[in-house]
Amino acid sequence: MEFRDYYKTLGVDRKASGAEIKSAYRKLARKFHPDVNPNNKDAEAKFKQLNEAYQVIGDADKRKKYDELGADWEHGVSQEEMMRRYARQQSPAGAGAGADFGGGDFSDFFSQFFGGGAAAGFGHSAGRRRGSSRGFSGFDFETSGAGAEPARAPDLRAEVRIPLVDAVKGAKRRLDLVAEDECATCRGSGMIAREEKQGKARVIRSAEPCPTCGGGGVVQARRTLEVTIPAGVADGTQLRLKGQGGRAPRPDQNGDLFLTVRIEPNPVFALAGRDLRVDLPVWDYEAALGAEITVPTVDGRVSLKIPAASQAGRVMRLRGRGLPAHGKEPAGDLLYELKVLAPTDLSAKERELMQQLADSLKARGIADPRAELMASK
pLDDT single digits (tens) 292-318: 999 999 989 999 999 999 999 999 999
Residue 120: pLDDT over 80: no
Residue 6: pLDDT over 80: yes
Per-residue pLDDT at 275:
96
Per-residue pLDDT at 286:
95
Identify the CATH number of the domain defined by range 1-123: 1.10.287.110
pLDDT single digits (tens) 227-272: 999 999 999 999 999 988 877 767 888 889 999 999 999 999 999 9
- The per-residue pLDDT of the chain, averaged, comes to 77
List the single range of 64-68, 181-185, 194-198, 323-327 with lowest mean pLDDT.
Answer: 194-198
Domains 1-123 and 270-346 share a fold: no
Per-residue pLDDT at 278:
96
Residue 171: pLDDT over 60: yes
Contact 126, 189 (CB under 8 A): yes
Dihedrals phi, psi of 121, to nearest 5 degrees: -70, 0
Identify the CATH number of the domain defined by range 270-346: 2.60.260.20
Average pLDDT rounded to a whole number, residues 147-152? 56
Q: Among candidates 187, 29, 210, which has minimal Cα distance to 134?
A: 210
Per-residue pLDDT at 101:
35
List, in order, residues 6 or more apart from 73 with CB less than 8 Å away. Answer: 3, 5, 82
pLDDT single digits (tens) 202-216: 666 667 788 888 877
List the single range of 63-67, 320-324, 337-341 with lowest mean pLDDT.
Answer: 63-67
Contact 257, 160 (CB under 8 A): no
The C-alpha torsion from 286 through 287 and 291 to 295, rounded to 10°, is 90
For domain 150-264, the CATH class is mainly beta
**Do the strands 291-297 and 300-306 form a parallel or antiparallel pair, or are they unpaired?**
antiparallel
Average pLDDT rounded to a whole number, residues 339-350? 93
Per-residue pLDDT at 21:
92
- The Cα 128–Cα 50 span in angstroms is 11
pLDDT single digits (tens) 282-295: 999 999 999 999 99
* Helix intervals (H) in 138-283: 164-169
Q: Among candidates 315, 266, 239, which has minimal Cα distance to 168?
A: 266
- The Cα 82–Cα 131 span in angstroms is 38
Query: Would you kindly state where each structural domain of the chain is located, as residue ranges?
Result: 1-123, 150-264, 270-346
